[in-house]
Amino acid sequence: MKTHLLIGRTLAFAEDPFRAPPEAAARISERGAVLIREGRIAELGEADDLRRAHPDVPVTDHGAALITAGFVDAHMHYPQTGIVASWGKRLIDWLNTYTFPEEARFADPAHAARQAALTLDLALAHGTTTLASFCTIHPGSVDAIFAAAHARGMAVMAGKTCMDRDTAPESLRDTAQSAHDDSAALIARWHGRDRAVYAISPRFSPTSTPDQLEALGALWAAHPDCLMQTHLSEQVDEVAWVRGLYPQARDYLDTYEAHGLLGARAVFGHAIHLTPREEARLSEVGAGVAHCPTSNAFIGSGLFDLAGFAQTGMRVGLATDTGGGSSFSMLRTMAAAYEIAQLRGHAIHPSQLIWLATEGAARTLHQEGEIGSLSVGAMADLVVLDLASTPAIAQRAERAGDIWEALFPTIMMGDDRAVAQVYVAGRARPGRGERNGDQQSDERIVT
Ligand code: GUN
Ligand code: ZN
């Protein structure tokens, strides 16, 4: 279907809701419409107007459901899908006990292909149309996720995770040279192919030697339109460990900066325990930060200063960090972001939460205008949310006085049951029932 009209409640943003009053920054239509042409949003407006202007275009009417940009997960680890919700450890023990043994299994391309397909299908079922994922040290793990993304028409950012230090198990180590060369070959194979974006991915300073960071900094300088993703200041013990491993560095961020790994297209996961210099420097260079609230609570990392970061205009996006994060749902992630901000004395508005999970995350990944936005010219990667998806949510939403009160119960209590439909590049993904072998759909086609 080349041209297609969707009707429902629509939610778009005219401004950053952290820089403008959060409600005024949003554009809501109770009976809105989105005209999709060749996979992109061609027009937005009122349903009656667009139907009149395009009388021959097929229509899908989503009724009272909310149509907005598909969710964007700014930082996750698809190889950890199989170990999500593993009990009882903090970061370093968690990596050694659960993460590294599972990542070693990705030497097998068949395992990588299975887990990549599973992860992207889980993401789509939860309304996530784009994710930025770490892979493993195996180049085949990168091929697997980009191939799975291509098969689904999804925009995915990913890269080979690089680790050459003896802090990582031997079976998961590369070298400075092989990390550079393998990453370069993967950039040549995937970056810019269809919707793939390559992210140069040193895991974090503790598992790389300075030589490896230097080699990856040189690679990024040669491919400046790639992203660079890594981890920064997630746990207090980790910050102390980095201080011991890099005695010359001014701070944790400096271990990256000194090797050419700080720039606007850098995306730092976590960034909880920062010094004032690190905060100022991140802001100055316009680097992105991925806030991973379910992970930060689950692994016991700390309380990210979301209100402080977002108000400075820094690129901040929400991320699941699965399998450190405990949910594939960006709704659950928004709820955790809300709860953590409350613990720091700030109530994040539902408009701001949705923005962080869509446009904010897209900005963090330098994809603004392309994804994460219900705006003319953007890709038609969309989610349709049922705001009454369970009896508990429905009875609360029924009392709502406005759209924000109607939406907030779904943010706080919703999960994949709230995802009525997902569109990737304008194409409807199979519905929940269809995935279970039942061809029924609650979507009404009213051509
Ligand atoms: N720091 C380095 N590697 C990881 C990882 O896989 N998950 C999390 N949460 N933190 C990390
Ligand atoms: Zn991570």
Reduced 3-state DSSP string for the chain:
CCEEEEEEEEEEECCCCCCCCCCCCEEEEEEEEEEEECCEEEEEEEHHHHHHHCCCCCEEEEEEEEEEECEEEEEEEHHHHHHCCCCCCCHHHHHHHHHHHHHHHHHCHHHHHHHHHHHHHHHHHCCEEEEEEECCCCHHHHHHHHHHHHHHCCEEEEECEECCCCCCCHHHCCCHHHHHHHHHHHHHHHCCCCCCEEEEEECCHHHCCHHHHHHHHHHHHHCCCCEEEEEECCCHHHHHHHHHHCCCCCCHHHHHHCCCCCCCCEEEEECCCCCHHHHHHHHHHCCEEEECHHHHHHCCCCCCCHHHHHHCCCEEEECCCCCCCCCCCHHHHHHHHHHHHHHCCCCCCHHHHHHHHHHHHHHHCCCECCECCCCCCCECCEEEECCCCCHHHHHHHCCCCCHHHHHHHHHHHCCHHHEEEEEECCEECCCHHHHCCCCCCCCEECC
pLDDT at position 28 is 98
Pair (177, 188) in one structural domain: yes
**What integer pLDDT is reported at residue 311 of this predicted model?**
78
Full residue range of the structural domain in which residue 43 is found = 3-69+380-446
174 Cβ closer than 6 Å to some ligand 1 atom: no
Distance CA 355, CA 318 (A): 9
pLDDT of residue 114: 98
Residue 234 CB less than 6 A away from ligand 1? yes
Question: Within this chain, do residues 37 and 162 fall inside the same structural domain, yes or no?
Answer: no
* Cα–ligand 2 centroid distance for 344 (angstroms): 23
**Tally of structural domains, the chain:** 2
CB 52 within 8 A of CB 35: no
Does any ligand 1 atom lie closer than 6 A to the CB of residue 99?
A: yes
Residue 129 is part of a domain; what is its CATH number?
3.20.20.140
> Do 294 and 326 contact (CB within 8 A), yes or no?
yes
In a domain, residue 48? The reply is yes
Same domain? For 77 and 193 the reply is: yes
Q: Pick from 333, 364, 395: which residue ends a domain?
A: 364
Q: Are 199 and 269 in contact (CB under 8 A)?
A: no
C-beta of 75 in contact with ligand 1 (< 6 A)? no
Kindly state whether residues 211 and 354 are assigned to the same domain: yes
For residue 319, the CA-to-ligand 2 centroid distance in Å is: 9
Is residue 43, in this structure, part of any structural domain at all?
A: yes
pLDDT at 434: 52
Whole-number Å distance, alpha carbon 97 to ligand 1 midpoint, is 13
Residue 231 CB–ligand 1 contact under 6 Å: yes
Residue 191: pLDDT over 70: yes
Q: Is residue 373 one of the residues assigned to a domain?
A: no
Which residues have C-beta within 8 Å of that of residue 365, sequence separation ≥ 6? 72, 74, 130, 132, 157, 197, 227, 267, 288, 317
Structure tokens that stand for 171 in this block: 């079976």
Residue 310: its pLDDT value, please? 83
Q: Which of 91, 167, 201 should be mutated for ligand 1, with most atoms under 8 A from CB? A: 91
- Tell me, yes or no, whether 9 and 77 share the same domain: no
Q: Single out the residue in 334, 364, 394 at which a domain terminates.
A: 364
Quote the CA–CA distance of 276 and 302 in Å, as a whole number: 17
Give the domain-ending residue among 299, 330, 364: 364
Cα–ligand 1 centroid distance for 324 (angstroms): 7
- The reply to whether 340 and 428 lie within a common domain is no
Nearest one of 74, 181, 185 to 133, comparing CA atoms: 74
Query: What average pLDDT does this structure show over 15-22?
Result: 95
Which residues fall within 8 angstroms of residue 156, CB to CB, at 6 or more apart?
A: 120, 130, 131, 132, 133, 145, 146, 149, 195, 196, 197
**Same domain for 111 and 226?**
yes
Q: Verify whether ligand 1 is closer than 6 Å to residue 295 (CB atom).
A: yes
**Confidence at 122, pLDDT banded by 50, 70, 90:** very high
How many CB atoms within 10 Å of residue 105?
Answer: 15
Ligand 1: does its nearest atom lie under 6 Å from the Cβ of 241? no
pLDDT at 80: 98
Give domain status of residue 394, yes or no. yes
Kindly state whether residue 59 falls inside one of the protein's structural domains.
Answer: yes
For ligand 1, is residue 326 a contact (CB within 6 Å)? no
Residues 6+ apart with CB under 8 A from 275: 251
Neighbours of 313 (CB within 10 A): 12
Q: What is the CATH number of the domain that holds 50?
A: 2.30.40.10
Are 360 and 367 within 8 A, CB to CB? no
The answer, yes or no, to whether residue 305 has pLDDT greater than 70, is yes
The answer to whether residue 375 sits within a structural domain is: no
pLDDT over threshold 60, residue 142: yes
| Type of residue numbered 319 | A
Q: What is the pLDDT of residues 194-213, one digit of tens each?
A: 999 999 999 999 999 999 99
Which residue's CA is the nearest one to ligand 1's atom 3? 203
d(CA 329, CA 318): 11
| Residue 77 CB–ligand 1 contact under 6 Å | yes
- Structure token pair of residue 375: 């705006």
Is 279 found in the same domain as 344? yes
Same domain, 268 and 159: yes
Ligand 1 pocket, 324 CB below 6 A?
Answer: yes
Task: Give yes or no: residues 65 and 75 share one domain.
Answer: no
291 in the same domain as 415: no
Q: What is the mean pLDDT of residues 259-267?
A: 98
By alpha-carbon position, which residue is closest to atom 7 of ligand 1? 324
pLDDT higher than 60, residue 314: yes
Distance (Å) from CA 58 to ligand 2 centroid: 42
Q: For residue 436, tell me if it sits in a domain.
A: yes
0.85 cut: is pTM over it? yes
Residue 441 in tokens: 């759909």
Of 176-185, 215-224, 296-305, 432-441, the range with the lowest mean pLDDT is 432-441
- Ligand 1 within 6 A of 68 CB? no
Distance 249 CA to ligand 2 centre (A): 22
- Residue matched to tokens 């001014």: 250
Residue 372 covered by a domain: no
Nearest atom within ligand 1 for CA of residue 234: 10
**Same domain, yes or no: 163 and 42:** no
Distance from the alpha carbon of residue 103 to the mean position of ligand 2, in angstroms: 13
